[in-house]
Amino acid sequence: MKRSAWRYLWKSQDIRRKLLITLLILTIYRIAANVPVPGVDFQALAEFRQRLGAGGTFFDFLDLLSGGTVSRFSLLSMGVYPYITAQIILQLLVPIIPSLQRRMEEDPREGQKWMEKWTYILSVPMAALSAIGQVNIFNSFAINAGLPPVLPFGFSGAQALTSITVLLAMTAGTMFAIWLGELISEFGIRNQGLSLIIFAGIVARIPANLYSLIIDEQNRWTLLSVTAVSLVLTIFAIVYVQQGRRNVPVMYPGRRVGNRMSMPVKGTLPLMVNMSGMIPLIFASAILQFPAIVASYFVNSETEWLRNFATSVQSTFSGSGWTYWVLYFLMVVVFTFFYTDVLFAQQNYGENLKRVGAQIPGVSRGAPTQRYLTRVQRRITLPGALFLGVVAILPFLLQQVVPVGPRNAGLLLVSSAGLLIVVGVVRDVFLTIDAELKLHGYQDSLLVR
């Protein structure tokens, strides 16, 4: 009988310390998530959330990425989203700007340090812009619903000092969340800090979402049944696609042992079906938020046609109609291909295989190998891209067949995009802890009875 090394999880002093530090930092994050932004009218915010109704999916996605803090308008309402956006922007700029690409290729370690430094720097203006856009969107939707502004905001007159304070506080909250994530990666579970910050927010929302289903007396059992079935099917699909690989055969050169040369070794190069993970959903959402953010500056314009146009744009990109979700699906598919191409080009498998003397049977070394692998990667990316597109629009599809009231309009979002994050983070954490156990000498063992 095989005994797992996980039985030593709590016995290892180093691993136990890392787990406790991770839990402590996540607890601090969840406590800080309840600290409100100064000046928020919480009564107006509560009325705004009640009247939002089926159009709440736009804000539910923001709430998902921020760890459930948008609905409370806390200091951490933007979560680590600006950092992720800055990271994506820099990653996309590397293959476009030759000098950056040379820097990354000549000295990968120094290039990675440069990327990390500028990601932090770029996160600050991204956080400030996101804060302004978020406040303007909330206020404009509240005004259109006949409610007072959730947070009086403006850079003229008496509101200027208050607005600057709000802007600085929200930006500082984002940087604080990023710092907590980095502490987890350094002193807790390695390289999982930011993922665990988002994960903690999603998990923290599940009890409240479940309660919303239970108290809906009219559709309680229908919603519970559909949610349970969608959870099981979505988790199965996510695990199946995330584990999907295409193993490309590779011949590695033999090694010299004394005076003899060993035979070439057959191996495989695994290519992932979904190499981009959750990034296309986040990036597509950021692009689709941009028109609504820009339109929020003009909804109160004195020019009638501009005001009407801005209101129409904001309504279209609020997530309440077919147009938004069709665009969302298409953009997720496109960004999946684009981001996968960028990541795959950075791996440079053709040159790496040539450097070690390996070769794919029937394909020349170097550039031809890279082109061949790129074609294979693009073919297997198609099902992964369509899968991510369906995951992105699953809440809207379910709402077309399930009776959903205003109280839980965006509830099913957790069973799609949220689950993709949860399953991915749980898998990565499991692999990280398993590697830590093996590093400390705890291996699976066989017991013979």
CATH number of domain containing 101: 1.10.3370.10
309 inside domain: yes
Rounded-to-5 percentages of helix, strand, coil across the chain: 70, 5, 25
* Number of separate domains in the chain: 1
Tell whether 271 is covered by a domain. Answer: yes
Q: How many CB atoms sit inside 10 A of residue 161's CB?
A: 10
Closest CA to 192 of 418, 436, 381, 395: 436
In a domain, 138, yes or no: yes
Tell me which residues of the chain have a pLDDT lower than 70. Answer: 1-8, 49-68, 144-145, 157, 213, 216-219, 254-263, 296-297, 299-300, 318-320, 402-417, 443-449
Residues whose CB falls within 8 Å of the CB of residue 85, separated by 6 or more in sequence, listed in order: 126, 130, 282, 283, 286
Contacts of 255 (CB under 8 A, 6+ apart): 261, 262
| 3 state DSSP class of 266 | strand
Amino acid in the structure at residue 350 = G
Q: How many helices (H) and strands (E) does the chain have?
A: 15, 6
259 part of a folded domain:
no
pLDDT given at position 413: 47
Picking from 105, 135, 162, the residue whose alpha carbon sits closest to that of residue 45 is 135
pLDDT digit string (tens) for 416-440? 667 777 787 888 888 888 888 777 7
pTM: 0.77
Q: Which strand (E) or helix (H) includes residue 257? A: strand 256-257
Domain-located, residue 376: yes
pLDDT of residue 265: 78
* 3-state class (DSSP) for residue 334: helix
CB atoms within 10 A of CB 224: 14
Measuring CA to CA, how many Å separate 431 from each of 17, 197, 358, 398?
Answer: 18, 18, 28, 33
Q: Identify the pLDDT of residue 320.
A: 63
Whether 391 maps to a domain, the answer reads yes
**pLDDT attached to residue 54:** 42
> In which domain, by residue range, is 70 found?
2-253+264-446
Predicted pLDDT at 409: 44
Q: Give the residue among 337, 329, 286, 334 at the shortest CA–CA distance from 416.
A: 329
Query: What are the phi and psi torsion angles at 95 (to 5°)?
Result: -75, -15
Give domain status of residue 145, yes or no.
yes
State residue 420's pLDDT score. 76
Structure tokens at 197: 């910050």
**Quick one: which of 228, 217, 222 has its CA closest to 407?**
217
* pLDDT for res 1: 45
8 A C-beta contact, residue 169 and residue 37: yes
Q: How far is CA 448 from its chain centroid?
A: 45
For residue 264, the SS3 value is: coil
Q: Is residue 402 part of a domain?
A: yes
Long-range contacts of 359-364 (CB under 8 A, 24+ apart): 359/250, 359/251, 360/248, 360/249, 360/250, 360/251, 360/269, 361/249, 361/251
Is the torsion defined by CA of 23, 25, 26, 27 positive or negative?
positive
